[in-house]
A and B are shown apart, each in its own frame.
Chain A
Amino acid sequence: MSPEIRALLYVLAAAAFIIGLKRLSGPRTARSGNLAAATGMLLAVVVTLVDFEVSWAVVGAGIAVGAAIGAALAIRVQMTAMPQLVAAFNGFGGLASALVAGSEFVRAGGIDLPGETITTIVLSVAIGALTFTGSFIAFAKLQGLMTGSPITYGGQQIVNGLIAAALIGFGIWTAIGQDALPFWIGGAIALVFGVLVVIPIGGADMPVVIALLNSFSGLAAAATGFVISNSALIIGGALVGASGLILTKLMCDAMNRPITNVLFGAFGAADGGGGASSAAGGDVRTTSPDDLAIALAYADQVMVVPGYGLAVAQAQHALRELMSALERRGVKVAYGIHPVAGRMPGHMNVLLAEADVPYEQLLDLDDANSLLPRTDVVLVIGANDVVNPSARDDPSSVIAGMPILEVDHARTCVVIKRSLSPGFAGIDNPLFYKDRTRMLFADAKKAVTDLEAALSEV
Chain B
Amino acid sequence: MGPYTVLAAETGEVLDPFIVGVIVFILAAFIGFEVITKVPPTLHTPLMSGSNAISGITIVGALIATGVENDTLASVLAFLAVVAATINVVGGFLVTDRMLEMFRKPRRDVEAGR
Contact = CB atoms under 8 A, between A and B. Distances in A.
Interface of A: 3-4, 6-7, 10, 13-14, 17-18, 20-22, 24-27, 30-31, 33-35, 37-38, 41, 44-45, 48-49, 52-55, 58-59, 61-63, 65-67, 69-71, 73-75, 77, 79, 82, 85-86, 89-90, 92-93, 95-97, 99-104, 106-107, 114, 116-117, 210-211, 214, 217-218, 220-222, 224-244, 246-247, 250, 324, 327-328, 330, 337, 339, 342, 344-347, 349-350, 353-354, 356, 358-362, 364-365
Contacts of A45: 59-60, 63
A231 B3 contact: yes
Given A214-B48, A244-B51, A247-B48, A353 B103 contact: yes
A362 B93 CA distance: 24
Contact of A52 (B31, B67, B80): B67
Contact of B98 (A74, A97, A344): A74
Given A82-B45, A214-B52, A346-B44, A231 B71 contact: no
B52 to A, nearest CB: 5
Task: In the A-B complex, list the 8 residue pairs whose CB atoms are closest, starting with the nearest.
Answer: A66-B86, A62-B82, A242-B32, A346-B44, A70-B91, A7-B3, A70-B90, A238-B28
Contact of B64 (A52, A102, A226): A52
B3 to A, nearest CB: 4
A324 B112 CA distance: 11
Given A48-B60, A225-B21, A96 B81 contact: yes
25 contacts: A21-B32, A21-B36, A21-B54, A27-B43, A37-B54, A41-B59, A54-B67, A59-B66, A66-B83, A70-B90, A74-B95, A89-B53, A93-B58, A99-B78, A106-B73, A214-B55, A231-B3, A231-B24, A237-B25, A237-B57, A239-B51, A240-B52, A247-B47, A324-B110, A337-B42
Given A55-B67, A86-B49, A234 B24 contact: yes
Contact of A330 (B24, B60, B83, B113): B113
B57 A62 contact: no
Q: Is the interface of A mostly helix, strand, loop or mixed?
A: helix
Nearest to A355: B102
B54 A236 contact: yes
A155 B62 CA distance: 39
B89 to A, nearest CB: 6
Contacts of B60: 10, 44-45, 48, 228, 230, 232-233
A3 B3 contact: yes
Interface in B1-60: 1-4, 17-18, 21, 24-26, 28-29, 31-33, 35-60
A247 B43 CA distance: 11
Interface of B: 1-4, 17-18, 21, 24-26, 28-29, 31-33, 35-68, 71, 73-75, 77-107, 109-110, 113-114
A70 to B, nearest CB: 3
A350 B102 contact: yes
Interface of B is mostly: helix
B57 A106 contact: no
A86 B21 contact: no
A272 B99 CA distance: 37
A232 B26 CA distance: 14
A71 B90 contact: yes
Contact of A96 (B39, B42, B85): B85
B62 A62 contact: yes
B3 A66 contact: no
Contact of A48 (B3, B48, B63): B63
Contacts of A220: 55, 58
Nearest to A21: B35
B20 to A, nearest CB: 9
Contacts of A10: 3, 60
A67 B90 contact: yes
B71 to A, nearest CB: 6
A67 B91 CA distance: 7
Contacts of A103: 65, 68, 73-74, 77-78, 81
Contact of B82 (A59, A210, A246): A59
Given A37-B93, A65-B83, A58 B78 contact: yes
A96 B65 contact: no
Q: Which interface residue of B37, B60, B81, B89 has the most chain A CB atoms within 10 A?
A: B60
A451 B71 CA distance: 67
Q: Which of A86, A96, A102, A360 gathers the greatest number of chain B CB atoms within 10 Å?
A: A96
A224 B61 contact: yes
A67 B98 CA distance: 16
Nearest to B45: A346
Given A24-B46, A41-B93, 6 more contacts: A52-B67, A73-B95, A90-B55, A217-B52, A227-B61, A239-B31
